[in-house]
Amino acid sequence: MRGLFGFLKSLTISRKKAEPKEPEIKKVRLSDDPGPIEEFVIIDIETTGLDSRSDKIVELAGVKIKKGEIVDSFRSLVNPGVPIPKEAIAIHHITDQMVKYAPRIDAVLPKFLEFIGDLPVGGHNVKFDYDFIQYNAYLLGMNFNNPFFDTLSLCRKAFPNLKSHKLASMVEYLKIDVKNQHRAFDDVLATAKVYFKCWEILKEKGVQPRITEVSEDQIAAFDMVKQILSSHNIDCSQICYGISSSHLSINYSMSYPRWFLKIKLSGRMKYIVTELEPDSIKNMVDNFTVEDCPKSINGRSRVLINSAEDIKRLDKLIVECFRRAEREYKNHQELFYSMGKEITFRL
């Protein structure tokens, strides 16, 4: 018995050594000016590859910022349940041994989403991180549709003459001290510093970046579209929305941000914009007025509605619009693959 006890004790000790806990960083002042967004979370992940549906998350990190100060932080390695490819290890240096005793995504992600709450999230080329988190949340029966902003776009606006706006390039240009580049937690700290530097420059230029508010009607319309597609056994995990002028644009995915519906619910005239020809959809929309889009609106046809509730009666149209975007996406994939290139929107 003593021998067995000793073996178990040594196993416990070695296991503890394999999962070192790093101290959390809290209450770090980054700026006296909170910028256009008073409270938000900078996020970053490391993965086994670039495809959010087939590849796995191996690290999650975030820093919560309020009024220019880091007030809380989150970091965790994640056991992906599969070997980490050597190409990925070469980038983030996270090995199979490092994640051997780390929790699985179903244990970590709910805690990470709780940490984020309903706050806006930011990151450098954040669509990559957002796409992975959103899809994994979907697999766990959870939702992740927080508003977001991209520090990559801010860098391009603040420093238009730089040849590269990758995070590593910005860190070098702005002389930001980073201990371990391409590790999620170090990257979120660097991204937070880049954000505030960009804000300083943009403020000097008189630019006011901000997150557009989404109305309750627009959120309800987005949910209705997802419900309709789900009822037709369509995977809605990567569908996302954006706000452009007075329109709610519903996009095929974060990694392929091509809209397939635009919905206008404010003002006197309310309507849905599609890329389908008016004559081809009239039999899908009984008792609705269909007309050509005016030149001022990017689209081919629009269907006049009275309120968001009318969306429920347009299921055939919504499914056909999604299918069209799906076909377009697959055609793009085939084109790129035939050229020997893999589709990726990460810079």
Q: Tell me how far apart the alpha carbons of residues 334 and 346 are, in angstroms, rounded to a whole number.
A: 19
Distances (CA, A) of 137 to 134, 220, 236: 5, 20, 12
In sequence order, the 6+-apart residues with CB closer than 8 A to the CB of 296 are none
Q: Are 127 and 150 in contact (CB under 8 A)?
A: yes
Q: In what order do the strands lie in the sheet with 247-251?
A: 240-244, 247-251, 259-264, 270-274, 301-305, 290-292
Q: Please indicate whether residue 182 is annotated as part of the active site.
A: yes
Nearest 10 degrees: Cα torsion 157, 158, 164, 169:
-140
124, 182, 232, 247: the active-site residue? 182
Nearest 10 degrees: Cα torsion 245, 159, 30, 130:
50
Q: Supply 346's token pair.
A: 């990460």
| Strand residues in the chain grouped as ranges (E) | 28-29, 39-47, 57-66, 69-77, 121-123, 148-150, 240-244, 247-251, 259-264, 270-274, 290-292, 301-305
Catalytic residues, which ones?
A: 182
